[in-house]
Structure 1
Amino acid sequence: MTHFTPPIRISVIGGGCAAMTTAFELTRPEHRGRYDVTVYQQGFRLGGKGASGRGAADRIEEHGLHLWMGFYENAFRLMRECYAELRRDPGRCPIATVEDAFKPAPLVGVTDRVPGGAWDPWVAFFPPQRGMPGDLLAERNPFTIGGYLTKAVSLVSELLRSASAGRTAPQRSHDAAPPTSAMPPGDVFGLLERLLGYGRLATTAAVFEALDLLRAALQFVFASPARDSAQGTLLRLLDALGEVARRELDALVGGDLGLRRVWEVVELVLCIVRGSLRHGLVFHPNGFDAINDYEWSDWLRDNGASARSLDSGFVRALYDLAFAYQDGDVQRPSLAAGVALRGALRMFFTYRGSLFFRMQAGMGDIVFAPLYEVLKQRGVRFEFFHRLKNIRLSPPDAGAAHVTALEFDVQAETVDGREYAPLVDVHGLPCWPARPDYHQLVDGERLEREAWAFESHWETRRAGEKTALVGRDFDLVVLGTSIGAIPHVARELVERAPAWRAMVENVKSVATQAFQVWLKSSAAELGWDRPAPVNLSGFVEPFDTWADMTHLERMESFREPVRSIAYFCSVLPDVAPADAQLPAVAHAHVRDNAVGFLERDIGWLWPAAVRRPGGFRWELLVDPADQGGAPRSHGPARFDSQFWTANVNPSDRYVLSQPGTIRHRLSPLDMTFDNLTITGDWTRTGLDTGCVESAVMSGLLAAHAISHSPPLDHIIGYDHP
C-alpha cells in the first residue's frame, strides 16, 4: 500500500529578496512537492526595499538606486536559474535571459573637495575579470583573507607602477633580489632585513623591491605555522612603506590631484594589510568578525591612516554606499570595521565580469516579476493585501515555544474572490505598476478616491481580518519582514526571547531618500566631461550618490525625447513626528532637499545645467503631462513632474552594520521558536550588510533551516560555523 505524506505548509511573510529566495529554494523540483508555500504580502507588489513600479509614461520608479555588484555570486546564481526556468521567448519579450537583464557597468567615480571649495569627480575603469558572477567556481568558497591581502599588495604595486608611467623607469640596484617566486623564505626575509637596514625606502626602485618582497613574505607567512617570528619584520616594513606614502601625500598637497588619489589608496591598502596582521585575522577563528567592535575609520586610523586619506572620496564613498550614518546624520559615520573590510575586499578582489552591473529595467521588472512568474508556475500561492498584525505564540507553560497563529488585516478584497493579478505589460515585459489595479478590488473606485495607502505602515483602514492557525493553515513560518517592523508584528517573540529583544534594541536602521529626473539633454550636453555612463559616490549632501541610468529610456514610453535619466540617493535624517503624518512630512522634506540640491550643487557635476548667476535650468526636465510642446509648469514647480521618495516605513529603512551590533543579529539557522525561521539582510549571513547578496544568502540559510538544502558549503562566502 502506498502511503500519502501531506506536504509541509509554509507561510512566508513578506516579498523581498530574502523571502523570495526561501520560497524559490523550498519549491525546487528536487523537493518533489514536499513544501506547500503561501506568500503573504502587504499591498499589491513584491520587492521590499527593492520594489519598483511603472508610473506616468511607463517610467520606472524605484525605492532607490539599485546596482548589482560583480561579487554577488549567490544572487546571480539565483537569477540565472530563475530565467532559465522561465524560458521567455526572445521574440516576444525584450528581456528574455539573464544576459539581457544585467549589463556591465565598469565606470565608477568618487568626488573630492579641492582647494577653493570645488568638487572634483574622479572616474576609474575597472577591467572585466574572468567569468561571470553565478558561474560555477572551481572551489565552493575560494575567498580567503590571506588571498585578499596578497591581492591588495599587488594592487599597491600596480597603482605605483601605473603612476610612474611616463617618468624615468625605476632601475633595480645591482644587488637587487632575483624573482621572489623562486626564493626560499629565509632569503626573502633576509633581503627584507637588509632593505630595512638602510633606514629608509628613499627611492622608487626600493619601494617596488619592498612590495615584491612583501607579497612573497605574506604568502610564506600565511602558509607557515611559524608565522609569529616573521610578523615583526612585516610590520616594520609596512611602517616604512606607510612613511613613504605619508611623505608623498605631504608633498602633493595642492598639487597633482590624480597622483594624490593614488597615494591615498596606497596608504589605505597598507593600513588594511598592517591591521589585518596586527589582529591576526588570517588565522583568527572569527576572521573579519574579530574587529567588528571597532568603527571602520577608527580602525584605519589606529593602523596608520592619515586624516587626509580618511577624508578621501574613497572612504566617504564606502560609507555612502552602506548608508552608514547613525540616525541619518552624515556627521556621525558608523560602520563595523570587520563588515567594511570584508565588503571592500570582496568588492574589489572577487568580482567577476564587471565591478557593477546595471539592470536593464526596474528592479521589480528584472528580479521580482520573473521570481513571481516562476513561483506561480511551481504552485506557490500569493495573498496580496495582507498586512501582518501579530504573531501569536504558544503559552509559556505549553512546552517548546512555537507560533500558533498569524493575525492579518485584509486590506482589500478582490472582485468575486478572484486571485489578484499584479503584473502589467510594458513593451512586452511583465512589470509591476506603481499603483494597484483598483478594477480588481471590491469598491475599487472608493478605495482610489479615498487614497488608501496600502504600502504605508500607518494605513490602518481594512476590508476585513484573517487568522491563520497552525495545523490548519500552516506548519512552519518564514518571517521575511525587515527588522524595523519586528517590534510591531512580533511583540510576543521579542518579549519571550532575550536574544530577540537584544537584536531589536541593538540592530538599527536608517531612513533613505531618493529622486529621479528625466532630462532633455544628454549628460555630455549638461557639461559632464568625464567617461560615461558612470556610478558616482562621495558627493555633497543631501544627495551623495548619482548613477546615469539613461539606458532605461528604451523601456519607457515618453512622447517627448528623453536624452538622459539620473538617479540620486542618500540617507535621510530622521524627521518628526514618527506617526501617521510622517510619510507626508518626509515626502515634502525630500522634495525640498532635491530642489535645493539641483539649484545649489548639481553644477559641480553638470555645469551646463545651471545658469550663472542663477540656479538650475528647470526647462530641462521632461514632464510626461506636457501637451504639444507647451510646458505645464515653470521653475521649481516643474520638479513636481519627476519622482522622489522618502523611505520611512519601518520595513523600508536601510539596516545598519554598526560596531558592536553584529553579534546581536540572529541567524536564520537559530530556531528559537520551533516552527519559525527569519530571513532578511538584517540577519546573520556572513556578509552582514544591507545588500541583495546578503538578503539572498539569508534566504538560502532559511531554506536550509527548514529542508537542510542547499548545503551550507554551497552558499558562496558563508564561512560561519
Structure 2
Amino acid sequence: MSTKKVCIVGGGCAAVATAFELTQPERNGEFEVTIYQQGWRLGGKGASGRALPSQRIEEHGLHLWMGFYENAFGMMRACYEELGRNPETCPIATWDQAFKPDNYVGVTEDLADGWANWMALFPPASGNPGDPLKTADPFSIPAYLTRCVLLLRTLITSVQDRVPQAEVKGGSDLVGAVAALARSTARGVVAEPLKSAERLASYGQLAIGVVIAEALDILRRIFDRRPQSWRPDDDLHAAQSLLTKLSVVIHSQIEQLTALDPELRRVWEIADVVLAIIRGILRDGLIFNPRGFDAIDDLDWREWLRLHGASELSVNNAFVRASYDLLFAYEDGDINRPRLAAGQALRGALRMFFTYRGALFWKMQAGMGDIVFAPFYEVLKRRGVKFEFFHRLEDLNLDGSGKLVEQAIFNVQAKVKRGLDYEPLVNVKDLPSWPSEPDFSQLTGGDKLKKSGWDAESRWDEHSAGTRTLKIGKDFDFLVLAVGLGEVPNVAAELIAASPTWRRMVEEVKTVATQAFQIWLDKPVDELGWSKPSPNISGYVEPFDTWADMPQLIALEDWEVDPKAIAYFCSVLPDSEIPTSDNPLSSARDRVKENAIRFLDKDVAHFWPAAVRKDGFDWSLLSGPDKSSDGPERLSSQFWTANINPTDRYILSLPGSLKYRISPLDQHFDNVTVAGDWTRCGHQAGCVEAAVMSGRLAAHAMSLHPPLEEIVGYDHP
C-alpha cells in the first residue's frame, strides 16, 4: 500500500482533528501528514499564549466547552489517554484534570429600573461528554420533543411549589391535581378575572397543567408508534390545538406576572418559548422533513418563534437575547442587526440544554493552547506528523483541467536556524504551553525581527524570508484547506473562479470581528460586590456583553504575588469601528482598549459595585508589577485583542446563508477538501464541536474513516 501525502493548511481545531483521524495507529501509516501553520503556534481562533514575566494566559476570547460537545470531548479524551502524562510530574495529566464541570449559566436582563442578573443552576447529568452513547438517537427530533414536554412539566411543577397548597385541589402533585379537573377548568380560568398574585399563579398553573397532560398524552401516542404509522393530520393537529390553548393561558397572564413576580415571569417566558418550539416543530412538519432543522434556516430565530405564537416578552427575554450574544450573531457586528438562522439556533439550544452530559459547561483549567493544542501537538508529533511553522498560504493553483490543485504557494515568514525543526512549546509549572510570541532565539535574524515589531499572525505584515511552492505528486497528493473562512478569498481565487458553488459560499456566508479583554484583580469578585456563584454570564450591555469569572487559572500562572481574580470580557466588534488602512490591526486594538476603559468606567459597576469610585473604575485594583499609576493607563498592563485578521473572524449563522456552505464531503476538486466550523458539518455554528465534526468529515472524505455514523450528531445524508 502506497503512502498518501496530505498537506493540511491551518492549525485550528478542524485541522488538528483531521490529522488526528488520518494518523490513527490502525491506519498503519497510510497517510503522511504535514501541517502548514502561519506563525509559531497552533490554535486558530482557539489559540492562547503565555506572556512574561508572570506567564499569564492570554486568549483570543472566551473559551468554554459545552457538555454536548461529544465529538470534541471524545477526541480530547483519546488524545490525553494516548499522551499518557505522569500525574506526579505534570499538573494536568488527564482530561478530567484539564476540564472541570460548571453547571451555572447566567444572563442579564434590562428591566425598567436597571439591569438584573439571573443565575440558573442546571443539575449534573449522568455520564460525561465523550462516553459511549447508551440511547439510540438522543439527537433526533422526536427525542427533542419529548424533552421539551418534560421540561414544561418541570417548569409548571416549579411554579406549583411556590403556591399555597390550599389553592391546589385534587391531588398531591401537579399530574394528580390536573387529572381530577375537568377540561372546562382551563376555559373557565381564562375567562375569570384575575384578582391576586396567588390566585393568578394557582389558576394559571392548573390550567396549563390540564392542557399539558392532554398534549403529553397525544405526543406519547405519536412517539410510541413506528414512523410509518404516524398520522400527522390527526394526532399533530390535535396536539397543536391543545398547545394553542396553553399559549392563550400563558399570554393572558405574563403581563400581570411581570409586575408581580420577576422569578415567576421568567418561568412563564421560558415555558412560552418551549411551547412555541413544540408547536413550530409540529406545524412545520420537521419530524417528517428529511432536511430536519435545516428546513427553517431561511428564517431568523426570533421570527420563527413569533410565527409560532411566542409573545414579544418571551421572544426578547434574556435567554433568547443571550443566544445571539453567544454566537456573536450580529450582521457586520451591528448590535441593531441581530440575525440568527432559526434551524441552527433551535438545534444548538436543544443540544445545549437537553443533551449535555456531566455539566452544562466545562471550564478549562489553563489556556486553550495548554489544555487542547499542546497535547494534540505532542501526540501528533509522536505519530510522525510534521509541522511547518511560519508558513502562510498565499495562493492555490489549479491544473489545466480545473479539477486538481497542482501547487500551493507559501510565504515563508521566517527560517529556523541551521535547518532544525522549530520547537514551539515552553514549560510553565511543568505544563507544556504555547508562548504569546515566537522564540526569536530559534530564528535566523531573530534579534532583528524582534526589534522590528514583526507580527507573524497579522495578515498585513508582509515580512518574508522567501517563498515555498508545494507541487502535487511530489509534496502532496491531497490538500486540506483548513484556514478561517475570511482567508479563503485571499488564498483560493482560482478555486472560487472555477466553482460557482465556492463563489456563492464566499459571497453569502459572512464573518464578524470580535473583541476581548482580560484583567487580573487584587481582590476576589465577591469583595467587589458580586454575590452570586462564579458566573459565565451574557446578555449585558455593549461593548462587552459577556463576562466569565476565571479564578481557576491563577494556580497555573506564575506571579510573584498571585492576583485574587481574573475576568474575561468579550463581544462583537462592529465593522464600522475597524479602521480602513493598509495595516488596521494596531488601530483596531487601540479601539478595543478605549472600549474596555469606557466599559470599566461606566458599566462594570453593575457586576462589581465596590470596584467603582465617584469618578469611575478603581484602577488600583488591577494586578501587576507597575503600581505607579492610578488611572486608565494602568490598563496597559493588562491584555486586550481585536480579532480582525481574516483567519480570526467569527463565522456567522445568518438566515438564508447556511445552504451555501460547502461540505468536506463535496467533491468540487479531485484532491481538495475543506475543514472548519464554516463548513456544512451537521452543526453550523462557530464552535469547537463544529470544527471537530468538520475535521472528522474531512478525514472521512480521504480515507472513509471514521464512519459517518460515528460522527455524533451528524444528520446530513
Smaller-chain TM-score bracket: over 0.9
Q: Which moved more, 1:663-672 or 1:553-562?
A: 553-562
Matches within 5 A, 1:85-104: 85-104=82-101
Match of 1:344 among 338, 346, 349: 349
Alpha-carbon distance between aligned partners in 2 of 1:622 and 1:313, rounded to the nearest angstrom: 33
Alignment of 1:100-139 (within 5 A): 100-116=97-113, 118-139=114-135
Question: In the alignment, what sits opposite 2:669?
Answer: 673
Is contact 1:543–1:570 with CA below 8 Å preserved after alignment? yes
Aligned to 1:460: 462
Corresponding residue for residue 588 of structure 1:
590
Task: Please tell me whether residue 649 in structure 1 is matched to residue 654 in structure 2.
Answer: no
Partner of 1:184: none
User: d(CA) in 2 for partners of 1:360 and 1:178?
Assistant: 43
Shift of the 572–192 alpha-carbon distance from structure 1 to 2, 3 Å rule, reads farther
Q: Hey, what's the Cα distance between the residues in 2 that align with 1:164 and 1:369? A: 50
CA distance in 2, matches of 1:387, 1:518: 34
- Post-superposition Cα deviations, 1:166-191, rounded to whole Å, max 9, x if no partner, equal 422364559x99989xxxxxxx9xx9
- 1:406 maps onto 2:408 in alignment: yes
Alignment of 1:186-225 (within 5 A): 200=190, 203=203, 204-222=205-223, 223=225, 224-225=229-230
Verify the 8 A CA contact 2:190 2:252 in the aligned structure 1. no
Residue 59 of structure 2: aligned partner: 62
**3-state SS, counterpart of residue 537 of structure 2:** strand
CA contact (8 A) 1:172 1:205 kept: no
Question: Aligned with 2:148: secondary structure?
Answer: helix
CA distance 1:198–1:233, change in 2 (3 Å) = farther
Q: Measure, in 1, the Cα distance between the counterparts of 2:136 and 2:465.
A: 49
Normalised to the residue count of structure 1, the TM-score between the two structures is: 0.94
**Residue 16 of structure 2: which of 14, 20, 41 is its match?**
20
Q: Distance in 1 between matches of 2:692 and 2:136?
A: 16
Q: 2:420, 2:639 → 1: CA distance?
A: 32
Secondary structure in 2 matching 1:137: coil
The answer on whether the counterparts of 2:677 and 2:684 sit within 8 Å (CA) in structure 1 is: yes
Could you tell me how far 1:556 is from its partner in structure 2? 0.4
Separation in structure 2 between the aligned mates of residue 581 and residue 45 of structure 1, nearest angstrom: 22
- Aligned letter for 1:411? Q
Residue in 2 aligned with 1:494?
Answer: 496
Contact 1:192 1:210 in 2 (8 A): no
Which residue is equivalent to 2:33? 37
Deviation at 1:300, TM superposition (A): 0.8
Question: Could you give the per-residue CA deviations for residues 100-155 of structure 1, whole angstroms, max 9, x where no partner exists?
Answer: 00000111110101222x11001011110000000011246432111112211211
* Among candidates 677, 687, 708, match of residue 712 of structure 1: 708
What's 2:339 paired with?
334
Report matched runs for 1:423-572 at 5 Å.
423-531=425-533, 533-572=534-573
State the shift of 1:219 in Å: 2.1
| Mapped contact 2:160–2:174 kept (Cα < 8 A) | no
The answer to whether the 8 A contact 2:183-2:210 is kept is no
Structure 2 counterparts to residues 625-644 of structure 1, below 5 A = 625-626=625-626, 631-644=627-640
**Alignment of 1:377 onto 2:375:** no
Q: C-alpha displacement at 1:211, in angstroms? A: 1.4
Aligned to 1:185: none
Instruction: Name the counterpart of 1:599.
Output: 601
Task: Indicate the residue corresponding to 1:276 in structure 2.
Answer: 281
- Contact kept, 8 Å, 2:189 with 2:207, in 1: the verdict is no
1:306 aligns to what?
A: 311
Q: How far, CA to CA, are the matches of 2:139 and 2:667 in structure 1? A: 29
Partner amino acid, structure 2, of 1:237: L
| CA shift for structure 1 position 433 | 0.1
Distance 2:361 2:516 in 1: 20
Contact 2:676/2:695 (<8 A) preserved: yes
SS of aligned partner of 2:525: coil
In 1, Cα distance between the equivalents of 2:187 and 2:320? Answer: 34
What's the CA shift for 1:382? 0.1
Q: 1:387 aligns with which of 366, 388, 392?
A: 392
SS across alignment from 2:378: helix
Which runs of 5 or more structure 2 residues have no equivalent in the other structure? Answer: 193-202
User: Residue type matched to 1:91 in 2?
Assistant: E
In structure 1, the residue matched to 2:678 is 682
- Give the AA of the match of 1:621: L
Equivalent residues of 2:545, 2:570 under 8 A apart: yes
**What one-letter code is carried by the residue in structure 2 that aligns with 1:518?**
W
The CA distance in 2 between the partners of 1:430 and 1:134, in whole Å, is 24
Quick check: 1:12–1:479 contact (8 Å CA) kept in 2?
yes
Change (3 A) 1:273 1:540: same
What fraction of aligned residue pairs are identical, expressed as a percent? 52
Mean CA deviation greater in 241-250 or 140-149: 140-149
User: What do the CA deviations read for 1:426-460 (whole angstroms, capped 9, x no partner)?
Assistant: 00000000000000000000000001110011111
1:195/1:37 CA distance change after superposition, 3 Å: farther
| CA–CA distance in structure 2, aligned partners of residues 519 and 127 of structure 1 | 30
| Distance (whole Å) between structure 2 residues aligned to residue 284 and residue 325 of structure 1 | 29
Aligned residue for 1:681, secondary structure, equals coil
Cα distance, 1:197 vs. partner?
A: 6.8
Distance 2:399 2:135 in 1: 44
In structure 2, what residue type is equivalent to 1:563? Answer: K
In 2, are the aligned partners of 1:201 and 1:240 still within 8 Å (CA)?
no
User: What SS does the corresponding residue of 1:512 show, helix, strand or coil?
Assistant: strand
Which amino acid is the alignment partner of residue 78 of structure 1?
M
**What's the counterpart of residue 269 of structure 2?**
264
SS of residue paired to 2:210: helix
State the distance in 2 between where 1:140 and 1:472 align: 45
- Report the CA distance between 1:244 and its aligned residue: 1.9
The answer on whether the counterparts of 2:699 and 2:705 sit within 8 Å (CA) in structure 1 is yes
Gaps of 5+ in 1: 181-187
Question: Closer, same or farther in 2 for the Cα pair 1:459/1:132, shift >3 Å?
Answer: same
Q: Is 1:618 the counterpart of 2:619 in the alignment?
A: yes
Tell me, yes or no, if the aligned pair for 1:141 and 1:716 is still in contact at 8 Å.
no
TM-score (norm 2): 0.95
Alignment of 1:663 onto 2:659: yes
- Tell me the SS of whatever aligns to 2:656: coil
The Cα shift of 1:504 comes to 0.2
Q: Kindly state the Cα deviation for residue 367 of structure 1 after the two structures are TM-superposed.
A: 0.3
User: Helix, strand or coil: the match of 2:260?
Assistant: coil
- Superposition map of 1:283-302 within 5 A: 283-302=288-307
Q: Please, which moves more after superposition, 254-263 or 369-378? A: 254-263
CA deviation map 1:615-664 (0-9, x unaligned): 100000002x33xxxx1322100011110000000110000000101110
Q: In structure 1, what is the equivalent of residue 7 of structure 2?
A: 11
Distance verdict in 2 for CA 1:435–1:247, change over 3 Å? same
> In the aligned structure 1, how far is the partner of 2:65 from the partner of 2:470?
36
State the secondary structure of the residue aligned to 2:526: coil
Q: Distance in 1 between matches of 2:122 and 2:56?
A: 30
Look up the match of 2:689. 693
Q: Answer whether contact 1:328 1:572 (CA < 8 A) is retained.
A: yes
- The residue aligned with 1:152 is 148
User: What is the CA-CA distance between 1:262 and the residue it aligns to?
Assistant: 1.0
Aligned to 2:200: none
**Aligned residues of 2:517 and 2:641 also touching (Cα < 8 A):** yes
The answer (yes or no) to whether the contact 1:200–1:240 under 8 Å persists in 2 is no
8 Å contact from structure 1 (residues 196, 237) kept in 2: no
Tell me the secondary structure at the aligned position of residue 495 of structure 2: helix
Q: Is the 8 A contact 1:44 1:436 kept in 2?
A: yes
- In 2, are the aligned partners of 1:140 and 1:714 still within 8 Å (CA)? no
Tell me how far apart the structure 2 counterparts of residues 709 and 498 of structure 1 sit (CA, whole Å).
29
Aligned pairs, how many? 696
